[in-house]
Structure 1
Amino acid sequence: MTAMRRFEGHGVLITGAARGIGAATARRFAEEGARVLVTDVDLAAAEKTVGTLRELGARAEAFTCDVADRTQVEAAVAYAVEAFGSLDVLVNNAYRCTSDAPLFEDEEDEDWALDLDVTLSGAYRCSRAALPHLVASGRGAIVTIGSVNGIQDFGNHAYSAAKAGLMSLTRTLAGHAAERGVRVNLVAPGTVRTTAWEGRDDDLAVAAGLYPLGRVGEPEDIAAAVAFLASADAAWITGTTLRVDGGVLAVNTGFRQVRRRPGDDGEEG
């Protein structure tokens, strides 16, 4: 168990927290003393995650929340405040990602709209509902899960556009919320081993070779970054995008491998 207890008495709401990055983040906060509301459209899975948190001795609750529904979002926030006495941290993790059509002109309007509605507008709805309570807590923080897709091309047109929008929302909301004592930041993960990659171990092995650190990320890698940005350790950080990506955006691994081949003269063109 994590030795630090930076979130004793904090109320934390995490969207899309039944599995993957969301579940790992819920566990990290629980290990550090937080009271955690695990929200998801899949209530049974959320309750299973809550069960594992309670085994740690944590105070945790499950709540159904579709971030595309304003009424459900506001109900989740109200539940967290009532159950925990305060809402101190919001983690916007819920997303939707539709596979691209073979040709861009064949993309469907509905898929585009739904990806943006859940991924981008969902974070907007949750932040809007939570902000007054985060202000009232006196130590409020919002951490949103973005993606390297919002910075560089890795495919998925709508998802990537939504993730890029989240970076912009992080900056503008940070500027608005700063004078009210609330910090707003974003974590941009690279490839992370979650259920989205289930049954694709060979693909993950190939992806690992593209990362300078030699592996893909684990959900716990992202959870650690989220906890840092939400904590007092990051008290003078707001409006930032923290890349947690194994160096993939900093280093062109494929090109470096080509340069290491026999006969390389070390010149660049």
Structure 2
Amino acid sequence: MTDHTRFAGHAVLVTGAGRGIGAAVARRLAEEGGRVLVSDRDLPEAERTASGLRQLGLTAEALACDVADRTSVEAAVAHTVAAFGPLDVLVNCAAHCTPDVPLFEDDPDEAWARDLDITLTGVHRCCRAALPHLVASGRGAIVSIGSVNGLQDCGNHAYSAAKAGLASLTRTLAGHAAARGCRVNLVVPGTVRTSAWEGRDDDLDALRPLYPLGRVGEPEDIAAAVAFLASRDAAWITGTTLVVDGGLTAVNTGFHTAVRHP
């Protein structure tokens, strides 16, 4: 059962919240009492998410935010503080993934740089802008969204490298921020049914047997993990990577299938 009080009075900033995991996170934290700034580079998507939350009687505003731009990030943090008071929670969901070219040696510099700039450096920008406010709140928490791509080969060189980098940034920032009263953690999803998979139900069905729990993830699965790590229930957890992947990286289903006997 959802605790409707865990984030009561908390000011929350969620990046990449226009749809998918980010939108589910914004809804979960708002349902638990948070006052949420729904930020996204796509303002109409952010407004649609925020409007839907307000229709449920929840507190949410929308703002355009491009995590690749320092001024935009700082404006989003300032807007959250002005609208809702001291910032308590930052959730970094914004990311960018460029499909790989057939040959690695043909990979263009621009694609590599863009994926890292949004997926990894974008989180750095957001944490840098938010940290003084999170410290000042006295109960600050940062949760970023990683990927199993950062743990094993799932393709997408630049995106995977950026997601792997988030695990390191989480640890180093957690060490820096702990004495200042702010916790920093990472959630690592497996395959999640989002708009990125729209029209690819056959692919999702093909992936299902790889997951020991028998299904791919839903955005709400990830939102639940984020809510836990951002809440007082995780008050003694920082610098951790929580893998939420239905058992994908823990169990070698291909091996088990290969050696199974009648």
What TM bracket, shorter-length normalisation? over 0.9
Per-residue deviation at 1:178?
0.2
Cα distance in 2 for partners of 1:69, 1:217 equals: 31
Q: Deviations over 1:86-114 (max 9, x none)?
A: 11000011000000010100101000000
Cα distance in 2 for partners of 1:202, 1:3 equals: 36
1:233 has 2:233 as partner: yes
The residue number in structure 1 matching 2:95 is: 95
The residue number in structure 1 matching 2:143 is: 143
Per-residue deviation at 1:259?
1.8
CA RMSD, 1 decimal: 0.8
**Aligned partner of 1:169: which letter?**
L
Per-residue deviation at 1:255?
1.3
Percentage of pairs with the same residue:
76
Q: What pairs up with 1:196-211 in 2 under 5 angstroms?
A: 196-211=196-211
- Secondary structure class of the residue paired with 2:27: helix
Cα distance in 2 for partners of 1:85, 1:249 equals: 40
Q: Deviations over 1:159-192 (max 9, x none)?
A: 0000010000000000000000000000000000
1:164 has 2:164 as partner: yes
Q: Deviations over 1:225-257 (max 9, x none)?
A: 000000000000000000000000000111111
Cα distance in 2 for partners of 1:56, 1:30 equals: 10
Give ranges in structure 1 of 5+ residues lacking alignment.
263-269
Per-residue deviation at 1:43?
0.5
Task: Flag the structure with larger Rg.
Answer: 1
Per-residue deviation at 1:57?
1.1
Per-residue deviation at 1:4?
3.6
Cα distance in 2 for partners of 1:101, 1:113 equals: 15
- Secondary structure class of the residue paired with 2:58: coil
Per-residue deviation at 1:261?
3.8
**Aligned partner of 1:22: which letter?**
G
The residue number in structure 2 matching 1:216 is: 216
The residue number in structure 2 matching 1:265 is: none
Cα distance in 1 for partners of 2:180, 2:3 equals: 31
Cα distance in 2 for partners of 1:48, 1:252 equals: 40
3 and 141 in structure 1: CA distance in 2 versus 1, 3 angstrom threshold = closer
Q: Deviations over 1:49-74 (max 9, x none)?
A: 00111122111000000000000000
Spell out structure 1 runs of 4+ moving beyond 2 A: 1-4
Cα distance in 2 for partners of 1:85, 1:57 equals: 19
1:28 has 2:33 as partner: no
TM-score for both structures, normalised by structure 1: 0.96
The residue number in structure 1 matching 2:60 is: 60
**Aligned partner of 1:33: which letter?**
G
- Secondary structure class of the residue paired with 1:208: helix
Number of residue-to-residue matches in the alignment: 262
**Aligned partner of 2:131: which letter?**
L
Cα distance in 1 for partners of 2:145, 2:220 equals: 13
- Secondary structure class of the residue paired with 2:21: helix
The residue number in structure 1 matching 2:255 is: 255
Cα distance in 2 for partners of 1:162, 1:42 equals: 22
Cα distance in 2 for partners of 1:250, 1:66 equals: 35
Give ranges in structure 2 of 5+ residues lacking alignment.
none
Cα distance in 2 for partners of 1:220, 1:92 equals: 16
3 and 135 in structure 1: CA distance in 2 versus 1, 3 angstrom threshold = closer
Cα distance in 2 for partners of 1:65, 1:108 equals: 26
**Aligned partner of 2:158: which letter?**
A
1:190 has 2:194 as partner: no
Per-residue deviation at 1:5?
1.8
- Secondary structure class of the residue paired with 1:88: strand
TM-score for both structures, normalised by structure 2: 0.99
